[in-house]
Every structure is written in structure tokens, then in C-alpha cells.
Amino acid sequence: MNKLIVNNLIDEPLDFKLKRGSRIFFIGIGGISMSGLAELAAAEGYEVAGSDMNAGPRTTHLSASGMKVYKGHDASHIDNFAPDLVVYTAAIPDSNSELIRAKEHNLHTIDRAGFLGWLNRQYKRVINISGTHGKTTTTAMCSLILMQSDQDPTVHLGAELIQFATTVRVGRPAELMISEACEYKRSFLKFFSTTAAILNIDYDHVDCFDSLDDVIDTFAEFSSHVPSDGYLVVPAFDNNVSSMISKTQQLLIDRGVKMPELIWFGDEEDRNEHLRSRPQFNWRNLIYNNGLPEFDMYFNNKFYGHFKLTIPGRHNVANAAAAIACAHFHGADPKAAESALNNFQGAEGRFTHTGTYRGARVIADYAHHPAAAAATLEAAANIEHNHIWVVFQPLTFSRTQKLFKDYVSALKNCELVLLAEIYSDRETVRDYISSADIAAEINKQGGHAEFHQDFASITARLDEVVAKGDMILVLGPENIRSLADQLTGRKDFMQKMD
């Protein structure tokens, strides 16, 4: 077992060997990533407990699996469980009573990203999939391809997957791990990769990145951590990624380190300053059958496989190409890739068909960033429908303010977009921007948008316009996606699986 490098509350590094049977306490255990890490830790033989302000299906699932889960945060939880290690989320403030008690007892602590990075290092091979958009879908695709190829990976996802009945999969110990790698607060710089994928780069997480250049620089640093005998899987069609590659190369030249092998994916016609011929993995003969992509994949100009996706959009063709490339270099075969992807139904909250409402198909999608919303709207437009009614909720006030023009541009051509108020679980300043401002600007530019204060008002408006054969797109964070379940009567995914 490698040494676990953790920080105490004054950020002094220390060595701490985490033995089997050690006790780990997760502050914020109900989070989508934290709950999965808790499951993986328990499967590895550690004693696990945790706390969360909000009880829900995930905390219920963890409790049912034998973990002690406390409702709310209280110092007594640390006293009662007596952990060897405390893991906390980025949303936990220094004033958290459990974190304070950990400091008082001089317990070892580590943030979520640090713990995931430590977990990476327990495996010989690690595929980390990063990018502004598409991480969950691509990680799920890659995992299923490798499972179909009998590689038995351990997986950490940012959403529930029906094949896992949760967000994670426990595979063969110490062999192969696949995980999402999020750039928020530069957390992925703590991870370890033998293969890293960068799907795309856009300006996002404006609360921790000053500019697009800052984002590109951070992805370059992440890429530079891939060892020289590893793989860097990148799109041939993204200019920001091309710029990142140049910066990665310079970083490694300055360090006297060799560049990992670059594996490009994209359309057969894609080129950039680094790539003079076709991408190694390229799709050809792309067509759409009722909005669903069908294409041939080639590897080094040789036919690799024929794919018929059941999830829509050109962006998912790119996600599939990245997943195929990552899986290929870890033992996957083309037939396994075909089988896995041709039957892939998507991860929870990624163009999820939750049912019907008043005869209209209801789709829930996490597309909260303007670029993701635009891609989802384009994909939906290719699917047979009478009218598309869009329900949209931006995520975080700072993102909405910085990307305001992009939100308007992405949504202004909708037949009708119903905007819920901005959702944020990590910001306190709420009075400088509103979804109502987006609606007003869309209408000023000739679009059709309405601001609604609550879900009841949105539902009432849908009742006025929705008819059989229509499509309702509910786009944004988990908060608004719950409306899709309310409309259709579908249970929460975790409740459904339980």
C-alpha cells in the first residue's frame, strides 16, 4: 500500500499509512462523488461513516449498506466514531463543527480531491477523463467497454449508472481504475493518471478561474502530470485543447521530460496545428436515424467498428470516440466496444427519458453550461417532435453573471424557454443576477422566454402549451431535474434501484 499524503488543518504535509480496517469519516457523505468514494472505501475494507445536512436516497442507500450516516453536522459524531481519517468536500467551511473537532483531536484530514487522488495511486493503471463537458458520459462508456472486454475495472462516476445501481463499481483490486477528473478548484491536479483524456475546454467554474487562459493553463498542468509512457487522449477539433497541448509541451520541455503519446480523436477531416493527417481514431459516414448517430470508427486508417448510439447528438459521437480510444489502450477489443456502446442508455441525468407528461416525452439533462445546453438543444432538434418546450435553470450566480451573453445566445432560439431561478449550493451572494435578467434579454432580442418563481408556476405554464407528440427538455442541475421526475411520476434513480 502506498503512503497516503494528507494535510492537517494547518496544511502541513505528513505521511500517514492507511491500514485495512482504518476508520474513515466523510463530511458531506451524501454528495454524488463523496457517496461513491465512501462505497469504494468500504469495499476496500475500511470502516466508513459520515454526515450530511440533507438526508436523501443516497444517504439511505449508504445506511442500508451498513454505514453509519448522521443527519446534520455535530462534533459529537467525530467523538462517537473516532475516525483515523476525515474526508471533507470543498463545500465544507472551516467553521464546520466536525472539522473543528478533528482539529482539536489532531486527526488526519484530506479533501475529497486529495482522497480520490490517493485512491488513484492504489492502482497500476488509471484512466482519468476530464473536460468541461461530457465527463460522466464518456467515463461510463469507457467503463462499459472495458467491462465487456472482461477487464473488470473499478469505476468512479459523477452520476448513477443503471449497470452499477449506484455511482461506482468495485473491480479487481489494484489493477485498473476509471474516474472522472473535474477541474473545479483545480482538484484534478491531485489525481494520478496513466491515461488522461481531455474532451473539450470551455470557460467554466468562473468562481475559481479568472479567464479561459487560466482554464487552459490548468488543463496543461494536468496533462503534464501524465507519465512519458502514458497516453493523452485529445480532440482534434477543439482549438482550446490545441492551445493546451502547446503549453503542455513547453512545460515538459522546461522540466526535461518526454511528452506522453498523443492520441487524437475526431472527424476524419479534423486538423489542427499539431495534427497534419487524420486523427488516429476518427469517425466516418456519420448519419442520424431519428436523431441517433450511426457511424464507422477507424483507427490508424483501418476499420475499427460500426456504431449505432442510442443517445443523440454529435457531441456524443465525440464522447464515444474518446471512450473507445481510452479503452483500446487498456485491453478493449472492437466487438466489445460495439456491443457496449450500441446498448448504452446513458448515465442518469444525461438526456434521460423520465417518462411522459400530457403525451409529451420528458427529457432531463445536466446541461447547465451554455455550450452544453446548445449541444443538447441541437441534439433534441434532430429527434422527431411537434414542439420542444425548454425548462432551464442556471447553476451558480457567478457563472450566470460571467457567461450571461452565452446563456442568452444558447437559449434565444427556443420556441419557448421557462427559466427557474438560479440554483447554487455554494454561493451566498444572490442579489446581483437573476434568471429573470436572462429572460428579459432573450425577449429583447426577439426570443420567447419566461421567468417563473417556482416549480408550480412552471408546471402550470406547461399545462397551457404541452400536447401529445411534444418534447419537454428539463435542463440544469439536480434541483431542476427533479421537476422532470415530478411531471412523470418517476421515482428518484436511487429509490428506483433500491
Of 178, 189, 184, nearest in space to 117 by CA? 189
Q: The CATH number of the domain where 323 resides is what? A: 3.40.1190.10
Q: Is residue 347 part of a domain?
A: no
Q: Is residue 295 part of a domain?
A: yes
Instruction: Report the relative pairing of strands 302-308 and 292-299 from DSSP bridges.
Output: antiparallel
Instruction: Report the distance separating Cα 164 and Cα 183, nearest Å.
Output: 25
Q: How many domains does the chain have?
A: 3
Domain co-membership, 305 together with 206: yes
Instruction: Report the distance separating Cα 311 and Cα 175, nearest Å.
Output: 30
Domain co-membership, 405 together with 470: yes
Domain co-membership, 256 together with 169: yes
Instruction: Report the distance separating Cα 133 and Cα 371, nearest Å.
Output: 8
Within a 10 A sphere around the Cβ of 257, how many other Cβ atoms?
A: 12
Domain co-membership, 491 together with 363: yes
Q: The CATH number of the domain where 369 resides is what? A: 3.90.190.20
Q: Retrieve residue 89's grid coordinates.
A: 468536500
pLDDT in 10s for each residue of the chain, 498 residues: 334 443 333 333 334 678 889 999 999 999 999 999 999 999 999 999 999 998 888 999 999 999 999 999 999 999 999 999 999 998 888 999 999 999 999 999 999 999 999 999 999 999 999 999 999 999 999 999 999 999 999 999 999 998 998 999 999 999 999 999 999 999 999 999 999 999 999 999 999 999 999 999 999 999 999 999 999 999 999 999 999 999 999 999 999 999 999 999 999 999 888 987 899 999 999 999 989 999 999 999 999 999 999 999 999 999 999 999 999 999 999 999 999 999 999 999 999 999 999 999 999 999 999 999 999 999 999 999 999 999 999 999 999 999 999 999 999 999 999 999 999 877 766 668 999 999 999 999 999 999 999 999 999 999 999 999 999 999 999 999 999 999 999 975 544 444
Task: Among 95, 115, 135, identify where a domain stops.
Answer: 115
Q: Is residue 356 part of a domain?
A: yes
3 state DSSP class of 379: helix
Task: Among 84, 115, 146, identify where a domain stops.
Answer: 115
Instruction: Report the distance separating Cα 430 and Cα 134, nearest Å.
Output: 28
Question: What's 265-314 look like in SS3?
Answer: EEECCCCECCECCCCCEEEEEEEEECCEEEEEEEECCEEEEEEECCCCCH
Model pLDDT, residue 462: 98
Domain co-membership, 80 together with 138: no
Domain co-membership, 144 together with 160: yes
Q: Is residue 189 part of a domain?
A: yes
pTM to 2 decimals?
0.91
Q: Is residue 200 part of a domain?
A: yes
Pure H helices in 382-477:
397-402, 404-411, 435-444, 455-465
Q: Is residue 438 part of a domain?
A: yes
Q: Retrieve residue 82's grid coordinates.
A: 473516532
Q: Is residue 79 part of a domain?
A: yes
Task: Among 115, 139, 172, identify where a domain stops.
Answer: 115
Domain co-membership, 303 together with 413: no
Domain co-membership, 109 together with 129: no
What is the CA 224 to chain-centroid distance, rounded?
A: 21
Model pLDDT, residue 430: 60
Domain co-membership, 320 together with 288: yes
Query: CA dist 386 to 154, 374, 383, 467, Å?
Result: 42, 19, 10, 9
Domain co-membership, 76 together with 219: no
Domain co-membership, 70 together with 155: no
- What is the sign, positive or negative, of the torsion defined by CA atoms of 415, 453, 402, 222? negative
Domain co-membership, 226 together with 172: yes
Q: The CATH number of the domain where 88 resides is what? A: 3.40.50.720
Range of the domain at 21: 4-115
Model pLDDT, residue 191: 95
